[in-house]
Amino acid sequence: MLAKLLAIFTDIKIQHTVFALPFAVMSAFIAAEGMPELEKMLWILVCMVGARSAAMAFNRIMDARFDVKNPRTQDRALPSGRVDVKSYWLFLIVSSAIFIFAAGMLNPLALYLSPMALGIVFFYSLTKRFTAYSHFWLGLAISIAPVGAWVAIREEISFVSLLLGAAVVFWLVGFDILYSCMDVNFDRDSGLQSIPQKFGVENALRISFVSHGLMILFLLILLQPVNDLGILYLVGVVIVACLLAYEHSLVRPDDLSKINVAFFNMNGIISIGLMVFVVADCVWI
């Protein structure tokens, strides 16, 4: 059983929680206007790990019949036979229960919204079957992190949390399009849809670039309603813009060999780096 659990954690790349978690932390610090309560931060962390684990497990289960045919994904736990479907379903149910319990430990609104949040993150795994714009649904799913963290701290959904959520949407759209470029031929052959498959890789890269531009725009707009954010935050946004520009310089229509670097390394640095500047700005005296 332990071997299966380790295989699942490796398969869902538990370390990639780093993509969304920093935005939840940013939102919590902005909502608290400084340092949030440690107990709330711990429950937010449990929520993040639980929700993402459940979402990734659902994705692996739903995509198993495609993953077994795709050379890039054939080594995943289900296609390779290292984990059976029943074990994956059990992991999904336990992860979902942990998320809902942790949401209940935060406040009634978080508990009330938790099933809806799971529904959104689960539904993403089905969207490539009927729309090329599944990237936007993934963005919506990940944007739950900052909105949910705001709910955790203030027990409300605010305009500020929605602005930060919008920035996350376009960030995810941008780099998920880049990642999807690697599967454009497989998607076309398998009847799956994506922006690269629909518009071609060259146009997809342009759409990705525009999406990241919109992310920066929403981050700058955030300065207006949040008076506590200042120079440190602005420096962080400028650095993020530079890193995104560098990310796009790594990928060309005729050379996708550096997509993994752009996808994993750069976006991890972007999310954590922006979090550091936001937290520093929020606690700056």
Give tens-digit pLDDT for 195-227.
999 999 999 999 999 999 999 999 999 988 887
First-to-final CA distance of the chain: 50
Instruction: List, for residues 149-193, the tens digit of each pLDDT value.
Output: 999 999 999 999 999 999 999 999 998 998 888 888 888 888 889
Query: Is the pLDDT score of 69 beyond 90?
Result: no
Average pLDDT over the chain reads 90
pTM listed for this prediction: 0.91
- What is the number of structural domains in the chain? 1
The CATH number assigned to the domain holding 118 equals 1.10.357.140
Question: What is the span of the domain harbouring residue 51?
Answer: 2-283
Residue 77 — pLDDT band, cuts 50, 70, 90?
confident
Tell me which residue has tokens 């342009």.
Answer: 206
Query: DSSP letters along 190-230, please?
Result: HT---HHHHH-HHHHHHHHHHHHHHHHHHHHHTTTT-TT--
